[in-house]
Structure 1
Amino acid sequence: NVKIVSDNGSDDGIDVVRSKNVKIDECFIRSKDDCIAIKAAWDYPPENGVEKVRVSRSVFWNGLWGNGLEIGFELRANRLHDIVFDDCDVIHVERGAVFSIHNGDYAVVDNIRYENIRVEDARHKLFDFAIFLSRYSIDSPKDQEEVNKRYLHGAWDGVLSVPKDQQEKYAVNRGHIKNIEVKNISVINGPFPFSIIHGYDEKHLVENVSFENLTVHSQHIKNAAQGRFTIQNAQNINFL
């Protein structure tokens, strides 16, 4: 039952970092940056990841930075798993994604569930599940000029381009996203946001993602095109 109201830069609401058995319940969070961010930052042993987190019965308002319910970007651990977002209301996401998994490092992110969540005003993206090189990655270029030159502007913030002749080099520290269950998510007002599912390459995929009873403006989304999804380097993406 925590209430957070902020409009400052880099003001994540609640960050869950290298933790387990965490419960966030009956909270109100209005932040300019991520409302919830689950990550494995800093240089701790890779076995110290995140597991058994539940976020429920809460209300979120995300401002112009970050995302609503974020896993990432810094995922410097072997695994983040068994994370549940349930029975929440996302009343505004002014930019970024409502639901995001941004795997900028080598972790396996799996067994994630989003269920019974209402979305009222998502102005940019609904879902963004992606594996990439980012300026926060453990193997990001150290030279700031190089980072600025590679910076991708557009659908993502903080993501860096990888030249074709360097893709194998950067693949070493890329991870996986798999076994994601999305059930009873409703966009009940506001724009019709787009979504992205994007793996790094054919060996680092987003896989086994199910969308069951996803509705936008009372319309049941039964396929990627209908839901405004862009999908690349992914497999077993199902709409039910």
Structure 2
Amino acid sequence: MKRKHIFLAALALLLVSGNPTICRGQELVTYPAPASEEVTMKQDFTVQVRTPEGEWKNIDTYAVKVKAPDNVELASLAYFDFSGTVEVKVTANAPVEQARIRPLSYNILPDVDGRSITFRLDRPRNLSVEVNGDIFHNLHLFANPIDTNRPAKPRTTKDFIYFAPGVHQLPGDTLNVPSGTTVYVAGGAVVKGCIHVKDAHDVKIAGRGIVHPDKRGEGIRVSRSRNVEIEGLITTQCPTGESEHVTIRNVKAISSYGWGDGMNVFASSHVLFDGVFCRNSDDCTTVYATRLGYKGGCRHITMQNSTLWADVAHPIFIGLHGDSGKFEIMEDLNYVNIDILDHHEKQIDYQGCLAINAGDNNLVRNVRFENIRIEDFRRGQLVNLRIFYNKKYCTAPGRGIENVLFKDITYNGTHAELSHIIGYDRDRLVRNIRFENLRINGTVISDDMPGKPAWYKTGDMARIFIGEHVENVTFSK
């Protein structure tokens, strides 16, 4: 079988993924990188980790491309697994004048001694370690939970495909995963190409390795499938199209090229993103109806416990695409417990950290944004809710936006531009929008704030403009 030719090399090599250390209920697993010229490493940081009072273990650091304003830069990436408590030491090659670890909401305050930064972790975290304010040559540090999917022995069988540590080039750049199959990508493995779940059901893709095409595009894709789980991997893009009951957990998506969206959802239902990390060169996560050959609306989409970093475009974007002749609906969308690290968008038509732009006769309703912490992004709007007609992408304006809750949203910063809430005409409205405990630089925005004109709410440097064809927008403590 062709599949055996591709993957059974793992068995011949007799490689077991990971180097574990177990001590008094603590466990630490590190994964050596492949010794291959096909894998680019980065030497900006020396990364070490240990259990309490244990010996330091070195963590290999990969190069990863990220999108800077005018070019593509090489940042760093490292990962390990642990349970209990660990101490992390990051030693920079350059002098450390200032260090920060994000998301800031984790309140991880490192000790700085010369060029070394040390801190403790008592739970899994997906982090950005930044020295001297440099966000384009930072360290992406993924401190994972212990991998319970790791097989006791490496094997490939009829329904289990195993990628051992090392570099694997997929024939034709794609692996189409059949129904009832588990694909495991071990820590220390780099799979070049796309793992595609297409017209399949009951599929699991897991591990700690890296999956990415040689140049650009999706590392993992789900198309017209159901009952799919994806867990723990590092990739570029991870879209879901015309599928149902898909769970994507602790997956990290980093892209640097044009239209490098992170985790799109097209025409799907019952999709859960849990604990994901997205740093992308376009929208981090989107919900669209009919698009790219996928047909239908979207229902029951949830993203929770996650971190979003948009080097360009939106962290969260809903509603743009659909079939204008079908009057499609996107509903029951939930975004809960999320940290947004950046948003940078120059174009006025593509604004908003939390954005719903209804086009193509779409109706977007029953959307919840709750417990979202937005850091001081570089450029753009906090919120953008619009019924609009963008002829570049749409054949009609949207039908409506209704029943949207913003609860316990915080923004601390000075770069937020004027946010917009705007309908289209008397038949295409934005209505029933509630802000509860919207806190801007420590100030709660409410309808009873004194001395504010009716058409905007303000708190320090953030403003929200409420335009025409908008009904029932409330701000409460």
- Same fold by TM-score, threshold 0.5 exceeded? yes
1:196 maps to which residue? Answer: 420
Q: Which runs of 5+ in 1 are unaligned?
A: 140-172
| Deviation of 1:121 (Å) | 2.1
2:398 maps to which residue? Answer: 174
Quick check: 1:56–1:87 contact (8 Å CA) kept in 2? yes
* Residue 21 of structure 1 pairs with residue 270 of structure 2: yes
| Deviation of 1:189 (Å) | 3.2
1:42 maps to which residue? Answer: 291
* Residue aligned with 2:253, SS: strand
* Residue aligned with 1:12, SS: coil
Q: Which runs of 5+ in 2 are unaligned?
A: 1-249, 346-350, 448-455
Looking at structure 2, the residues matched to 43 and 13 of structure 1 have their Cα atoms a distance apart, in angstroms, of 16
1:57 maps to which residue? Answer: 305
Quick check: 2:261–2:282 contact (8 Å CA) kept in 1? yes
Q: How many corresponding residue pairs? A: 205
Q: Pairwise CA RMSD of aligned residues?
A: 1.8
Judged with a 3 Å threshold, the aligned counterparts in structure 2 of structure 1 residues 44 and 12 are, in CA distance, closer, same or farther, namely closer
2:437 maps to which residue? Answer: 213
Flag the structure with larger Rg: 2
1:228 maps to which residue? Answer: 463
* Residue aligned with 1:58, SS: strand
Looking at structure 1, the residues matched to 292 and 309 of structure 2 have their Cα atoms a distance apart, in angstroms, of 31
Provide Cα deviations, 1:36-92, integer angstroms capped at 9, x if missing partner: 01101338797x20000100011011012x211000311335211000000000011
* Residue 119 of structure 1 pairs with residue 374 of structure 2: yes
Quick check: 2:290–2:297 contact (8 Å CA) kept in 1? no
Equivalent residue in structure 2 for 1:86, among 336, 342, 352: 336
| Deviation of 1:4 (Å) | 1.3
Judged with a 3 Å threshold, the aligned counterparts in structure 2 of structure 1 residues 60 and 42 are, in CA distance, closer, same or farther, namely closer
Looking at structure 2, the residues matched to 238 and 75 of structure 1 have their Cα atoms a distance apart, in angstroms, of 29
Give the TM-score taking structure 1 as reference length.
0.80
* Residue aligned with 2:364, SS: strand
| Deviation of 1:94 (Å) | 1.5
Looking at structure 1, the residues matched to 398 and 358 of structure 2 have their Cα atoms a distance apart, in angstroms, of 8
Q: Which has the higher contact order (CA 8 A, sep 6+)?
A: 1
Letter in 2 for 1:3: K
Calculate percent identity across the aligned residue pairs: 30
Looking at structure 2, the residues matched to 106 and 45 of structure 1 have their Cα atoms a distance apart, in angstroms, of 17
Give the TM-score taking structure 2 as reference length.
0.41
1:237 maps to which residue? Answer: 473
Provide Cα deviations, 1:178-215, integer angstroms capped at 9, x if missing partner: 00011000002342442100111111110000000001
Looking at structure 2, the residues matched to 22 and 174 of structure 1 have their Cα atoms a distance apart, in angstroms, of 23
